[in-house]
Amino acid sequence: MTTRNWIKTGGLTAIFLVSASCNGFAQPAPLDIPFAPIEDTSLKDPDNPIKTFRVDFARVEHDFPLSRADLNKITPDILMTLSQEQVDQIYGRLTAGPIPDGLFRGDLFFTRGDTMSTRFEEILGGIKGRLAGASIGILEMLGRGLWKGKVFDREQRVLRNMIEDLIIMRPLVGDPSTIRTTTIPRTGFAGRFLPGDRVWLLFPAKVYCGQSLLDARRESVVVDYNYNDEIEGYRASPDSLAGRGGLQIRDEIRMVRPGFYLGRAYANRMFLLNFTLFNPDLAEREAESFAAGGPIAEDCWPGEQVRKVTGR
């Protein structure tokens, strides 16, 4: 594949995966929830510790359970301040919850010291990886303004990604009048006076319960792009880039609390980035019941290890 094609592929993948939210300069307060030590000195000489929690989420969950109060402390902004090991520990202590339905605003995050370009260099390897990494490093910021989140159709078990309608995208999508669209409602004071943002619906995917590529103890909600050409509204350009003939994108998500999901994106089964999905109306509507310990629907297999609820 030529350098030009790698640049185009990388740019569209960034568009498809990356978030629209801006985090500003203010740093949130440190997250006050329990984490297992990253280095386990009980298995070897303390001067030569072994990082073990990655493969022992059952032990992490047993020794460091998360309460509903802990989960209420987690926000998308706070997740961005954590290491990948800490994000993985949170994900491993979650269950899938219900398969989402409707519109969820999206945001991606790379953990400290990580970037999309380094991920692609690892995935593609060699000269291809370096070329893709260089181009994606430039396009990463562009993508942040294009991906707005996902719209789920729970009944049909499919979703579509919300992509900003920008002039630079027009040559890649063909006739814009033939693209499905939706409107993202504005929130807060502006929502009273200004119309919502109109966005394209591209990159369809199938949604189902399946085994997590990180934590096989229980299922996650899987977002599978491999057979997206079977979904109504599929467009060969640019949708095919995410499918089995392209980068073979696969997402998986678990619920932090109602309306808020933590996700992981993979390319060719190799981890690429973290992302969050948030529905403010659902989060507000279910907040009181969740905090009071109300039941949570589980569409996917929650595993044999019962999640402990602490009294912190």
What's the confidence (pLDDT) of residue 196?
A: 81
Nearest to 79 by CA among 150, 21, 40: 21
What's the confidence (pLDDT) of residue 302?
A: 94
**What percentage of the chain reaches a pLDDT higher than 90?**
54
Q: Flag whether 304 is in a domain.
A: no
What's the confidence (pLDDT) of residue 115?
A: 53
Higher-confidence residue: 1 or 178? Answer: 178
> For residue 63, what are the contacts with CB-CB under 8 A and spacing of at least 6?
36
Q: Flag whether 9 is in a domain.
A: no
Does the structure show a pLDDT above 60 at 7?
no
Q: Flag whether 27 is in a domain.
A: no
Does the structure show a pLDDT above 90 at 254?
yes
Higher-confidence residue: 40 or 231? Answer: 231
Does the structure show a pLDDT above 70 at 42?
no
What's the confidence (pLDDT) of residue 68?
A: 97
Length of the chain: 312
Q: Flag whether 282 is in a domain.
A: yes
**What percentage of the chain reaches a pLDDT higher than 70?**
71
CB count within 10 Å of CB 294 equals: 11
Least confident stretch, 125-134, 181-190, 300-309: 125-134
What integer is the mean pLDDT of 147-171? Answer: 91
What's the confidence (pLDDT) of residue 308?
A: 63
The structure tokens listed for 211 are 């085994």
Q: Flag whether 305 is in a domain.
A: no
pLDDT band of residue 25 (cuts 50, 70, 90) is very low
CB count within 10 Å of CB 85 equals: 15
**What pTM was estimated for this model as a whole?**
0.82
Phi-psi region at 274: left, alpha or beta (left = phi > 0; alpha = psi -120 to 50): beta
Does the structure show a pLDDT above 70 at 116?
no
Distance CA 102, CA 258 (A): 13
Does the structure show a pLDDT above 50 at 104?
yes
- Residues pairing with 51 in the sheet: 39
Does the structure show a pLDDT above 80 at 300?
yes
What's the confidence (pLDDT) of residue 17?
A: 45
What integer is the mean pLDDT of 141-162? Answer: 87
Does the structure show a pLDDT above 80 at 189?
no
What's the confidence (pLDDT) of residue 21?
A: 36
What's the confidence (pLDDT) of residue 167?
A: 76
Peptide bond into 302 cis (omega under 30): no
What's the confidence (pLDDT) of residue 31?
A: 93
Q: Flag whether 123 is in a domain.
A: no
Higher-confidence residue: 176 or 189? Answer: 176
As to burial, measured by CB atoms within 10 angstroms (0-12 exposed, 13-18 middle, 19+ buried), residue 251 is buried
Q: For helices 3-17 and 116-124, what crossing angle results, to 10°?
A: 130
Q: Which structural domain range is residue 280 located in? A: 73-112+146-291
As to burial, measured by CB atoms within 10 angstroms (0-12 exposed, 13-18 middle, 19+ buried), residue 245 is exposed
Q: Flag whether 286 is in a domain.
A: yes
What integer is the mean pLDDT of 177-188? Answer: 89
Q: Are 267 and 273 in contact (CB under 8 A)?
A: no
What integer is the mean pLDDT of 221-229? Answer: 97
Q: Flag whether 43 is in a domain.
A: no
Only one residue has tokens 């990388």, namely 10
pLDDT in tens, 135-149: 444 444 555 678 899
Does the structure show a pLDDT above 70 at 73?
yes
What's the confidence (pLDDT) of residue 138?
A: 41
Total domains present in the chain: 1
pLDDT band of residue 11 (cuts 50, 70, 90) is very low
Rounded to the nearest integer, the mean pLDDT of the chain is 81
DSSP, residue by residue, the chain: --HHHHHHHHHHHHHHH-------SPPPPPP-S----SEEGGGS-TTS-EE-GGG-HHHHHHHSPPPHHHHHH--HHHHTTS-HHHHHHHHHT-B--SPP-EEEEEEEEPPTT--HHHHHHHHH-HHHHHHHHHHHHHHHHHHHTTEEEEEEETTTTEEEEEEE--GGGHHHHS-GGGS-EEEE---TGGGGTSPPEEEEEEEEEEEEEEE-SS-TTSEEEEEE-TTGGGSTT--HHHHGGGSTTTT-EEEEEEEEETTEEEEEEEETTEEEEEEEEE-HHHHHHHHHHHHTT------S---SSPPP----
What integer is the mean pLDDT of 120-144? Answer: 51
